[in-house]
Amino acid sequence: MFDSSLNPEQRKDDLARLAKEEFDVLVIGGGINGVGVALDAVTRGLKVALVEAGDFASGTSSKSSKLIHGGLRYLEQYDFKLVREALHERELMVSTLAPHLVKPVAFLYPLQEKVKERTYVGAGLALYDALRGFKRALPGHKHLSQKTISEIAPSLRTDVITGAIRYFDAQVDDARHTMMIARTAKRHGAAIITRAKVESLTKKGKRIAGAVIKDLNSKKRITVKTSTVIMCAGVWSDQLHKEFGIEPGYEVKMSKGVHIMLPGEAIKADEGIIIKTAVSVLFIIPWKDQWMIGTTDTEYSDDPSEPLADRSDVQYIIDQANRILSPRISIDQVIGVFAGLRPLVANKKESDTTKLSREHTVDRPIPGFVSLAGGKYTTYRVMAKDAVDMATNDIAKLTNESITDKLPIIGADGYWALSQQVDSLANQYNLKNETVIHLLNRYGADLSELLALIEEDRKLASQISKSLPYLKAELVYAVVSEGAMSIADVLERRTRIWFEAKNFGLDLAREVADVIAPYLGWRAVDKKASIQEYQQLVKSAENSLKSALKR
Binding residues (CB under 6 A) for ligand FAD: these are: 28-34, 51-54, 57-61, 63-67, 69, 197-198, 232-236, 240, 257, 295, 340-343, 375-378
Cα–Cα distance measured from residue 256 to residue 254, given in angstroms and rounded to the nearest whole number: 7
Cα separation, 284 vs 262, in Å, equals 10
Q: How far is the CB of 29 from ligand FAD (least distance, A)?
A: 3
Can you list the positions of beta strands (E) in 112-162?
142-145
Q: Do residues 207 and 366 make contact, with C-beta atoms less than 8 angstroms apart?
A: yes
Closest approach of ligand FAD to the CB of residue 351, in Å: 17
Query: Minimum Å distance from CB 126 to ligand FAD?
Result: 22
Residue 325 pairs in a beta bridge with: 156
Of the pair 130, 216, the CB lying nearest ligand FAD is at: 216
In the bound state with ligand FAD, the residue whose beta carbon lies nearer, of 61 and 481, is 61
- Pick 209 or 372: Cβ nearer ligand FAD: 372
Taking the C-alpha atoms of residue 411 and residue 413, their distance in angstroms, rounded to an integer, is 6
Contact (CB, 8 A) for 184 and 165:
no
- How many angstroms separate the CA atoms of 268 and 266, rounded? 7
Q: Residue 49 Cβ, how far from ligand FAD at the closest point, in Å?
A: 11
CB atoms within 10 A of CB 20: 10
Cis peptide bond upstream of 495, omega within 30: no
Q: Which is nearer to ligand FAD, 70 or 408 (CB)?
A: 70
Instruction: Choose between 372 and 506: whose C-beta lies nearer to ligand FAD.
Output: 372
Q: For residues 348 and 417, what is the distance between their CA atoms, to the nearest angstrom?
A: 51
Residue 392 gets which letter from DSSP? G
DSSP codes, 431-462: --HHHHHHHHHHHGGGHHHHHHHHHH-GGGGS
Residues 371, 275: Cα–Cα separation, whole Å: 35
Least distance from C-beta 375 to ligand FAD, angstroms? Answer: 6
Question: Which of residues 319 and 359 has its CB atom nearest to ligand FAD in the complex?
Answer: 359
CB of 384 to ligand FAD, least distance (A): 10
| Residue 152 CB, nearest approach to ligand FAD (Å) | 23
Supply the minimum distance, in Å, between the C-beta of residue 512 and ligand FAD. Answer: 22
E-state strands within 71-180: 103-111, 142-145, 163-171
**Cβ closer to ligand FAD: 59 or 505?**
59
Strands, E assignment, 32-99: 48-51, 67-68
Question: In this complex, which beta carbon is closest to ligand FAD, that of residue 69 or of residue 381?
Answer: 69
Helix (H, G, I), strand (E, B) or coil at 210: strand
User: Which C-beta is closer to ligand FAD: that of 229 or that of 431?
Assistant: 229
Residues 6+ apart with CB under 8 A from 249: 361, 363, 365
Q: Cα separations (Å) of 329 from 200, 338, 491?
A: 49, 18, 27
Q: How far is the CB of 294 from ligand FAD (least distance, A)?
A: 6
Nearer residue to ligand FAD within complex by CB, 128 or 522: 128
Contacts of 497 (CB under 8 A, 6+ apart): 464, 468, 470, 491, 504, 505, 508
Closest CA to 208 of 198, 194, 218, 195: 198
**65 neighbors 75 (Cβ within 8 angstroms):** no
Question: Which of 175, 476 has the CB closer to ligand FAD?
Answer: 175
In the complex, least distance from residue 244 CB atom to ligand FAD, rounded to whole angstroms? 9
* 345 membership: H or E segment, kind and range: strand 336-346
- Nearest distance from C-beta of residue 253 to ligand FAD, angstroms: 12
Nearer Cβ to ligand FAD, position 68 or 436? 68
Min CB(240)–ligand FAD separation in Å: 6
The rounded distance, in Å, linking the Cα atoms of 24 and 229 is 8
What count of other Cβ atoms lies within 10 Å of the Cβ of residue 326? 15
Which of 210/257 has CB closer to ligand FAD? Answer: 257
Rounded to 5°, the CA angle 315-321-322 comes to 85
Bond into 104 cis (ω within 30) = no
Closest CA to 171 of 117, 219, 122, 101: 101
Smallest distance, Å, CB 449 to ligand FAD?
26
Which residues face 167 on adjacent strands?
Answer: 107
Give the residue from 525, 511, 521 showing the smallest Cα distance to 468: 511
Report the residue number, 187 or 376, with the smaller CB distance to ligand FAD. 376
* CB 71 to ligand FAD: min, Å: 7
